[in-house]
Structure 1
Amino acid sequence: MFFLFDPTFIILIPGILLAFWAQMRVQAAYNKYSQVRSSLGLTGYELAKRLLENAGIYNVKIEVVSGFLTDHYDPYRKVLRLSPQNFKGVSVASLGVVAHEVGHALQDAEKYPMLALRNLMVPAAITGSQLAWIIFILGFIFYTPFLIRLGILLFSLVVLFTLITLPVEFDASRRAVKLLETTMLMPEYELKGVKEVLDAAALTYVASSLMAFLQLLRMIVIAGLFGDRR
């Protein structure tokens, strides 16, 4: 009954509000600058190819991935995956997103420490996100404090992963702006749009970290209530 009427849910409200606001900002910024054609005259694919070659990176493939803003760099398979609208897009928004993902490829090529650490954390973060709450709730069902603590520990790995992700994403955005400014000589008014899109996207990662931290805090509070009842 406690989980059906969980008063600790209120702890998550700041994270939910920030996530909602961040998503609105991303949509607004991307929609705004997807209407602004870049003077570079390149598609996202052409920009990615040129930036990678300019950096001396020839082992990264560029592929299309389905979905909206599903762009990402896969460091394991060395693949830059771009959503259809950005693969073919010629807008300021599309080129900004593509340059950001190229930034991740550059991080990988340069052995950027925080990216390497995040890659090492992926299995632990996946395990934590999939099993933490299950184990935590089983601890309540079977009255086993060890399982409750184990669930909290596993979810702590998720929180750590989101925190490590922040500098990785911020650095990729910094690299993206620098590449477009110095390598591609993108005009200042277009760079302003790129920064707006990438800043909005960065806020979603901040919201994700906050949400993960608040979930962890909620688990600790619930565990405390359980301890009191025991």
Structure 2
Amino acid sequence: MFISGLTTLLIRYGYYYGYGGTRAGGGNYGLYILIFLAMMILPIIAQINVSSTFKKYSRVGNSRGLTADQVARMILDSNGLHHIQIEHIKGNLTDHFDPRTNIVRLSDSVYGKSSVAAIGVAAHECGHACQHAENYAPIIWRSKLVPVTNLCSHLWYLVLIIGVALSSLTIGTSLIYVSIAMFFAVVVFQLVTLPCEFNASNRALRTLERDGILEMNEIPQAKKVLKAAALTYVTSLVVSLLQLLRLLMSVRRR
């Protein structure tokens, strides 16, 4: 959702992101264009990659005939997490673990499916449940950052717009710097998210192999699905860093 909102904002302002309505000029104009194009193209590539990879391995059933929800229950129980429930939710790859309600939610494309891809995703979400149960440091930090990040991700560009409109005044410049600080908070959140996602995937693959849930030839296939999903988080961070660079370049140009 963050990438979608960011893309909308970029389209709205296009290449004319300079303060006071002036176009980014001088020697930096080419760099502005490259950054803008990278921010537009990278998320599309990442989304196509994860969609095509998941679709490919959704056609590959696991040899034991287990469904993703059954595997999720097995993993949770084997880790002593009998109290965590599993629910079916609508959508495609909207799977997640909700630590507030202790529920692993599996989407239409995963719940009840016996594909290698679905089982990999379900195991990944159980990995997050295990992280919370073990007080895995990055997931705790991430949880604490959620309220601040939600606020900053929704308001930073509004503060920026107001700052640009009032840029002739001292308060306008201050607001511009506040907006950059708010966006930096979003970048920090995304940075903390990466180890959580990679660790959950590694936990999932180890469990699927150790418990014999997937055959040895099926593990690499599940790994490809989880790797493609992880790359979307990497891409999100890269795009945010590019946007942060663009903001700092604009401030410096002023």
Counterpart-to-counterpart distance in 2, 1:180 and 1:157:
35
| Residue 200 (str. 1) matches residue 224 (str. 2) | no
> Shift of residue 17 of structure 1?
2.6
Q: How does 1:33-182 map to 2 (within 5 A)?
A: 33-143=57-167, 144-182=172-210
Q: For the Cα contact (< 8 Å) 1:12–1:211, is it kept in 2?
A: no
Uncovered stretches (5+) of structure 2, i.e. residues with no partner? 1-11, 18-23, 25-31
Deviating runs (4+, > 6 A) in structure 1? none
Q: For the Cα contact (< 8 Å) 1:9–1:218, is it kept in 2?
A: no
Normalising by structure 1, we get a TM-score of: 0.93
User: What is the match of residue 3 of structure 2?
Assistant: none
| Residue 216 (str. 1) matches residue 244 (str. 2) | yes
> Shift of residue 185 of structure 1?
4.3
Normalising by structure 2, we get a TM-score of: 0.85
> Shift of residue 9 of structure 1?
5.4
Secondary structure of the structure 2 residue equivalent to 1:80: strand
- How high is the sequence identity, in percent, across the aligned residues? 38
Distance 1:197 1:3, change over 3 A: closer
> Shift of residue 97 of structure 1?
0.5
Q: For the Cα contact (< 8 Å) 2:71–2:213, is it kept in 1?
A: no
Distance 1:9 1:139, change over 3 A: farther
* Structure 2 counterpart of 1:64, one-letter code: H
Counterpart-to-counterpart distance in 2, 1:13 and 1:204:
17
Counterpart-to-counterpart distance in 2, 1:82 and 1:158:
26
Counterpart-to-counterpart distance in 1, 2:252 and 2:165:
16
Q: For the Cα contact (< 8 Å) 2:116–2:218, is it kept in 1?
A: yes
| Residue 27 (str. 1) matches residue 28 (str. 2) | no
Counterpart-to-counterpart distance in 2, 1:35 and 1:188:
18
User: What is the match of residue 191 of structure 1?
Assistant: 219
* Structure 2 counterpart of 1:152, one-letter code: I
CA offsets 1:92-144 (integer angstroms, 9 cap, x no match): 00000000000000101100000000011111111111010110111111121
Q: For the Cα contact (< 8 Å) 1:15–1:207, is it kept in 2?
A: no
Counterpart-to-counterpart distance in 2, 1:12 and 1:201:
23
> Shift of residue 217 of structure 1?
1.3
User: What is the match of residue 14 of structure 1?
Assistant: 38
> Shift of residue 15 of structure 1?
3.5
Q: For the Cα contact (< 8 Å) 1:71–1:82, is it kept in 2?
A: yes
Counterpart-to-counterpart distance in 1, 2:64 and 2:138:
31
Secondary structure of the structure 2 residue equivalent to 1:94: helix
Aligned pairs, number: 225
Counterpart-to-counterpart distance in 2, 1:186 and 1:80:
20
* Structure 2 counterpart of 1:46, one-letter code: Q
Larger relative contact order (C-alpha < 8 A, sep ≥ 6)? 1
Uncovered stretches (5+) of structure 1, i.e. residues with no partner? none
Backbone CA RMSD of aligned residues: 1.5
